A and B are shown apart, each in its own frame.
With several copies, the nearest count.
Chain A
Amino acid sequence: MFAITENKIREKQLGDDRAGAVVIFEGLVRNHNDGKKVTCLEYQAYIEMAEKVGQEILNETFNKFDIIDAACIHRVGMLQIGDAAVWIKVLSAHRDEAYQASKYIIDEVKSRVPIWKKEHYVDQEPEWVACHRCASHEEHHHSHEAVT
C-alpha cells in the first residue's frame, strides 16, 4: 500500500502471525538544513504518478526481499518541525529482511517518486530543494536535506 495524503500521517495497522520483525521508518521535518534554520516545509506531489511509482517500488521490494507486508505513506502540504513527511512499515519473519526492505523503499522513494519540497527559512526566501543537492547529500552525507 502506497498512499499520498494531505493530512497528518495515520499509521496503517499491519499484522500477521508469521511476522517476527517490524521495522518502521519515519522521515521528520528537521529544524535545520544546510546550515539554515528551517521554519516549515511545503511538500507538493504529482499525485497520480507518485502513487504509481510508489506502488512500483513496493512491488520491487516484495520481489527483492523475503518480507510479509510493506506500506508507505507520504504526506503533502505544509508541514511543521517534527511532523512526519513519510512513514514506512515493513513486516518480515526475520529482521535483516525488514531492515533491508525499509532502506530500499526510502532510498527509492527519495530518488524516483515525483514529490518536491520547498523549505521556508527564518532568515531568507523559501526555495525548492534541488536534486543535485539531494544527490550530493546522498553520496556524501552532507546535511543538505530537511528530512533524511
Chain B
Amino acid sequence: MKIKIKYFAAMRESTGKSSEVIETTATSLSAVYDELNDRYHFPLNRDDLKVAVNEKYVDFEEAVSPDDTVVFIPPVAGG
C-alpha cells in the first residue's frame, strides 16, 4: 500500500525531504519507522519520537492503512 510521510525539524534535515509517498508492506507504525530508518539513519531513536497518523497522536504498535499520513514527531518545543 501507499502511505504519505511528512518530515519536520531534525527529521526533515536528515532526509532532505518535507514529505514523500512510500510503498510499504509494514503492518505497524513501528515497522514503518524501522523500514525508513534503515534508509535514512534518522538522528532520533524511536523512543525519542512520537507518531501521528492523520494529525492525531497514536501508538507505534497501531496498524497503518492505505493513504494514511504518517509523521514521526520529534520532541516538541513550542512556546
Direct A–B touching in the complex (beta carbon < 8 Å)?
yes
Interface membership of B10, Cβ < 8 A: yes
Given the interface contacts A46-B8, A52-B55, A116-B8, does A130 sit within 8 Å of B75 by beta carbon?
yes
Given the interface contacts A114-B8, A118-B9, does A131 sit within 8 Å of B79 by beta carbon?
no
Q: Is the interface of A mostly helix, strand, loop or mixed?
A: mixed
In the complex, chain A residues whose CB is within 8 Å of the CB of B9: 44, 116, 118, 128
CB proximity of A49 to chain B, nearest CB, Å: 4
Given the interface contacts A49-B71, A114-B73, A131-B74, does A44 sit within 8 Å of B79 by beta carbon?
no
Interface size class of B (residues with CB under 8 A): 10 to 19
Given the interface contacts A46-B6, A128-B10, does A115 sit within 8 Å of B76 by beta carbon?
yes
Q: Assess whether A44 is in contact with B8, with CB atoms less than 8 Å apart.
A: yes
Can you pick out 13 interface pairs between chain A and chain B where the beta carbons lie within 8 Å of each other?
A45-B8, A46-B6, A110-B76, A111-B76, A114-B71, A115-B77, A116-B9, A118-B9, A128-B77, A130-B74, A134-B77, A135-B75, A145-B79
A134 to B51, CA, bound (A): 19
Q: Assess whether A128 is in contact with B79, with CB atoms less than 8 Å apart.
A: no
Task: List which A37-55 residues lie within 8 A (CB) of chain B.
Answer: 43-46, 48-50, 52
Q: Is the interface of B mostly helix, strand, loop or mixed?
A: mixed
Central interface residue in B8, B48, B71, B76, by most chain A CB within 10 Å: B76
Nearest 6 interchain pairs by C-beta: A131-B75, A115-B78, A116-B9, A110-B79, A49-B55, A129-B77
In the complex, chain A residues whose CB is within 8 Å of the CB of B79: 27, 74, 85-86, 106, 109-110, 115, 145, 147-148
Question: Interface digits, B45-67 against A, CB 8 Å rule (1 contact, 0 not)?
Answer: 00010001001110000000000
